[in-house]
């Protein structure tokens, strides 16, 4: 092989590795129990509109004890194509959320859908 061919092959290999890096870096959803659906009513603390996934923090009053739940959603890019905005969930919004909970019992889960108390509007998969 000539020196140019070796350099070209090395450059191509580097490009392929760089393109595959985002796929390799993506985390698994194995921590969520997709066989269970939990429904909670609470107040939005904040929504974090950032890559790679948005997060919604909801304060739930469970028998007098306030618990903060962290709900992981999709990417801002994919959600914006579905009509979501960074202001879809505002602090103080009262919502009922559906989620697949964490397998280890941590107050967190994978967002399925939500219903806003104020106007009954729903977002995500709500049945």
pLDDT per residue as tens digits for the range 71-98 = 999 999 999 999 999 999 999 999 999 9
Q: How far apart are CA 113 and CA 68, in angstroms?
A: 17
Has residue 123 got a pLDDT over 60? yes
Residue 63 and residue 104 in contact, taking contact as beta carbons nearer than 8 Å: no
Is residue 89 assigned to a domain?
A: yes
Angle at the Cα of 57 (from 90 to 26), degrees rounded to 5?
115
Is residue 18 assigned to a domain?
A: no
Is residue 8 assigned to a domain?
A: no
Is residue 16 assigned to a domain?
A: no
Q: How far apart are CA 81 and CA 34, in angstroms?
A: 24
Q: How far apart are CA 33 and CA 57, in angstroms?
A: 19
pTM: 0.76
Domain ranges, residue 47: 38-124
Is residue 32 assigned to a domain?
A: no
**Count of structural domains within the chain:** 1
Residue 122 and residue 114 in contact, taking contact as beta carbons nearer than 8 Å: yes
Is residue 33 assigned to a domain?
A: no
Looking at residue 18, its pLDDT comes to 52
User: 32: which DSSP letter?
Assistant: B
């Amino acid at each position: 092989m000539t020196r140019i061919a070796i350099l070209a092959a090395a450059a191509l290999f580097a490009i392929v590795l760089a393109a595959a890096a985002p796929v390799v870096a993506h985390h698994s959803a194995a921590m969520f129990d997709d066989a269970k659906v939990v429904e909670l009513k609470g107040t939005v603390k904040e929504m974090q509109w950032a890559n790679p996934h948005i997060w919604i923090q909801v304060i739930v009053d469970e028998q007098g004890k306030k618990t903060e739940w962290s709900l992981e959603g999709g990417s801002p890019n994919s959600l914006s194509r579905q009509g979501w905005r960074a202001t879809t969930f505002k602090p103080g919004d009262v919502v009922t959320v559906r989620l697949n909970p964490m397998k280890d019992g941590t107050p967190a889960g994978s967002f399925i859908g939500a219903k806003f108390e104020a106007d009954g509007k729903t977002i995500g998969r709500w049945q």
